[in-house]
Amino acid sequence: MCGRYTVSGPEDILRELLDYEECPSAATRYNVAPSQFAPVVVVHEEQRRSVVEMRWGLIPNWAEEPTIGQRLINARAETVGEKKAFRDSLRCRRCVVAADGFYEWRKVPGGKQAYFSRLKSGTPFGFAGLWDRWCGLQGQTLETFTILTTVANELLEPIHSRMPVILGKEQREAWLSPGTDVHRLSALCESYPAVHMETFPVSDYVNDPAHDSPRCMQAVPLASWSTLF
């Protein structure tokens, strides 16, 4: 799964995702959590990309209550096309979620240990996402998103069995293109190669979603995690 992530270099990330010299501003985030707002890239009918702040936790447009979004922060890539909550969005409301790292928790004796993962190159990337627009009976409107997950690669598998779908530049182009067929979409959701990634333990400071500072992604001493591999 993916339950927290970072947008620690928003200008670099959006420049990478939009391929523009001039990019909109976005807040620096070190600990994005479900129900919070974060930047995603969408494509309009005229094929122009833009950045929209949406709430994490997809609320289907047909939902009676917005609380369903709390359960839909992630969508399994293997079955996303079969689920009522995601089918329409997979077909016509795909997005790329701006990010440059993510957290996952490994079960250890007495609790859980948080780990931070990113690309070795430090290159920004995007998660494969879906979005929807929900309108309440009182006239309120919410645009929300979910992050697709897939089977963890060999680097992350000892920590958790799932990982977010990370899209490279070519994959992002295909993911956002309205003309990409469902078989091609499935192929885009493979695990990102472990050889290009790194992961390291961080302190339990990140466990609190109210904490949003560089300390969240600061590595802890190797001695405390050397038994992982």
pLDDT confidence bin for 136, thresholds 50/70/90? confident
**What does the pLDDT average to over 155-160?**
97
By C-alpha distance, which of 176, 170, 13 is closest to 101? Answer: 13
228 located within any domain: no
Q: Give the chain's domain count.
A: 1
Instruction: State which residues form the domain around 174.
Output: 4-217
Catalytic entry in 2, 95, 189, 216: 2
Q: Looking at the DSSP assignment, which residues form a beta bridge with residue 146?
A: 130
pLDDT interval class at 163 (50, 70, 90): very high
Q: Tell me, yes or no, if 95 is annotated catalytic.
A: no
**226: in domain:** no
The answer as to whether 106 is a domain residue is: yes
Q: What is the pTM of this model?
A: 0.93
Contact, 18 vs 49, CB < 8 A?
yes
| Set 53, 78, 82, 104: catalytic member | 104
CA 58 from chain centre, in angstroms, equals 12
Residue 229 in any domain: the answer is: no
In a domain, 223, yes or no: no
Per-residue pLDDT, averaged over 112-131, amounts to 95
- When pLDDT is cut at 50, 70 and 90, the band that residue 229 belongs to is very low
With respect to residue 162, please indicate whether it lies within any of the assigned structural domains.
yes
Average pLDDT over residues 32-60: 91
| pLDDT tens, residue by residue, 172-193 | 999 999 889 888 999 999 999 9
- 101 found inside a domain: yes
Long-range contacts of 66-71 (CB under 8 A, 24+ apart): 66/134, 66/136, 66/142, 69/35, 69/144, 70/34, 70/35
For residue 53, indicate whether it is catalytic: no
State the CATH number of the domain containing residue 42.
3.90.1680.10
Average pLDDT over residues 59-88: 95
Positive/negative CA dihedral, 20, 25, 32, 139: negative
Average pLDDT of the chain, as a whole number: 91
26 part of a folded domain: yes
Strand partners, 43: 49
Q: Where are the alpha helices (DSSP H) in 22-163?
A: 87-92
